[in-house]
Amino acid sequence: MKILEHLNSAGIMYDQKFIDSLETALSHAKNATDSLQTLYSLSFENGFMNPPKGIRYGMQCLAIAIRSNNIKAQINAHNGIGNAFESLSEFDSSRYHHFHSVECCQRVGQKSVPTFSAEAYHRPAAFSKVRPKSSPRELEACWTVSEAKF
């Protein structure tokens, strides 16, 4: 329950009705673009509260993005998957996906990377040092978000 309080205090609200509406939208998606956007949203939304489901949606998004050579969707998919793995404290897997997100940005010449990719790529090392009863200040240091440039 503490993670819910932390996420809500950070302005991230877990809303099952929203997730349900995304799942309905996915079942009615008419094209790959709609599917990719919805799968990424489902991956992101589930990544904090239901990480295994977030990973499944992210992997589906990644498979379609690779087949359609959609680099932006690959970036998003890797981010969603990386965030979900981080929620499970699987930091090697999280770092792997965030690294690939950054790598995709570099492939297309994007000068800045999504904030979560850049920060989360470095954050797992910090999280592995956070104690179970860390102070809010210690947790905040791990969650600090800033725009990263290459």
Phi-psi region of 120 (alpha: psi -120 to 50; beta: other; left: phi over 0): alpha
- pLDDT of amino acid 110: 67
Closest by CA position to 147, among listed 114, 103, 123? 114
86-105 core/surface letters (b: 16 or more CB in 10 A; e: else): bbeebbebbbbbbebbbebb
Question: What's the burial of 79, exposed, middle or buried (CB within 10 Å: 0-12/13-18/19+)?
Answer: buried
- pLDDT of amino acid 112: 58
Residues of the chain below pLDDT 70: 1-14, 110-150
Q: What is the pLDDT of residues 88-102, one digit of tens each?
A: 999 889 989 988 888
- pLDDT of amino acid 14: 60
H-run or E-run covering 79:
helix 71-87
* Token pair recorded at residue 68: 């359609």
Give CA–CA dist 43/37, Å, rounded. Answer: 10
pTM over 0.75: no
Half-sphere exposure at residue 55, Cβ-oriented, CA atoms within 13 angstroms: 13
